[in-house]
Amino acid sequence: PIDLRRRLAAAAGIGSGIVVEDKGYSLALHYRKAPEHAEQLRRHIAAARTAFSAEPTELLLGKAMFEVKRPGISKGESIRKLMAHPPFSGRMPVFIGDDVTDESVFEVLPGIGGKGFSVSRYFPGLAGVFKDPAQVRSALDSLATNGRARA
């Protein structure tokens, strides 16, 4: 019998450019290289979720990506749990993200003393927004070289 994960992963057969990313806790279906298949991919996901309606799932819409995951699982909760254990406890988490799947991290960071930065998108509670990936690389290079980042 085919399971939900395999049924969703079959989306790779929709057309060239569909990328299936198995994150373990979720399946992300990327169509950045195949935007013409976005609607067909959306229908494929809806049909798979309907066929396995007894299995609760959530659908996240990202940048040219659909992610199907179990309810209650998020990057934010993972970071919160990780930061409670040595050697991370008592330290300041810093997170850089650019997608809707990163929103849950941005939400928990203030409560655990962390700082969140986004790339080209505003989310509530951010410490800052980088204009593009090149600016992130430049800031990280500066931090590694000088011990502090420049904006």
Which comes out higher in pLDDT, residue 63 or 64?
64
**Looking at residues 53-77, what average pLDDT do you find?**
90
Average pLDDT over residues 30-54: 95
What string of DSSP letters covers 1-53? ---HHHHHHGGGGG-TT-EEEE-SSEEEEE-TT-GGGHHHHHHHHHHHHHHTT
Domain of residue 64: give its range: 4-69
DSSP annotation of 151 = -
Q: Residue 50: is its pLDDT beyond 70?
A: yes
Place of tokens 């593009």: 132
Q: What is the total count of domains within the chain?
A: 2
Last residue of a domain, one of 47, 69, 91: 69
| Mean pLDDT score, 119-129 | 89
pLDDT at 53 (0 to 100): 93
The length of the chain, given as a count of residues = 151
pLDDT at residue 11, rounded to an integer: 93
Mean predicted confidence (pLDDT) in 56-75: 90
Mean pLDDT of 61-88: 91
End-to-end distance of the chain based on CA atoms, in angstroms? 53
Res 137 pLDDT > 70: yes
- Is the predicted pLDDT of residue 1 greater than 60, yes or no? no
- Provide the CATH number for the domain around residue 15: 3.30.70
- Whether residue 150 lies inside any domain: the answer is no
Which of 69, 90, 118 is the endpoint of a domain? 69
Does residue 89 form part of some domain? yes
Task: Give the residue with greater pLDDT, 52 vs 1.
Answer: 52
Q: Which residue among 69, 96, 120 closes a domain?
A: 69
